[in-house]
Structure 1
Amino acid sequence: MTFKKKTFNALYSIFAIFSCLALGKLCSHVAPILPSSLYGLIIFTLTLHFRIFNADHIKSSVVWCLKHMGVCFVPAGVGIMNHFELIKQFGIAIVAITFVTTFLLLTVVGLHYQRFAVDDE
């Protein structure tokens, strides 16, 4: 693939993704049911399905992102493997604590948001 074609595909991908995210932001303002990034993902999927954006131009960028995505997850996996005995011994407790604290955090943040969002309007 030539440099010109790679550059075009990268710019095309950036345009496609950011335009879908911008439309997702707009949808989130109109119908604040889902987060804007989720609306953007849905719009991106639909534009690829209905061939509004050419998937062949986006493919190389997606492959590159998937190829390098492991960098985000490898350090956590190595950390877990270094302490496998602790995970084996306390795994259920760790999972339970993670779920309970996540639920509590989301509940507290949601309640505070409702309280202060109603006060601001």
Structure 2
Amino acid sequence: MKIIMQLFWIILFSLLGEIVSVAIASFVAIPGSVIGMVLLFLALHFNVLKLSQVDEVGSWLTDNMAILFVPAGVGLMTNFDVLAESWLQLIVIMFVTTILMMIFVGKIVQAIMNKDQKSEKDGE
């Protein structure tokens, strides 16, 4: 029964995310699964829901996450003809965005580290 209740909470927040996504679709397009995860995070953060209420099922889902990517991989293979026409553009986009993300994350980490070092010096 415990596992069923944990799965219920995760599915409930996924459903709430889909409902919110449909409600705000005319303003902005955000996937319901993303909204559901944000709502679940907020519920956990503000102690509306306890971690123990979703821990086992959440751990199982993240441990077996690879199986959730199978439908996306199959979708890519069924549309391979479309991807084959623009493979060069896709590779360039992947390299450019990867480099930009590495630079962005590096700058953020440096800023945080500098802020921590500065606060340590001020605390002395």
TM-score (norm 2): 0.48
TM-score (norm 1): 0.49
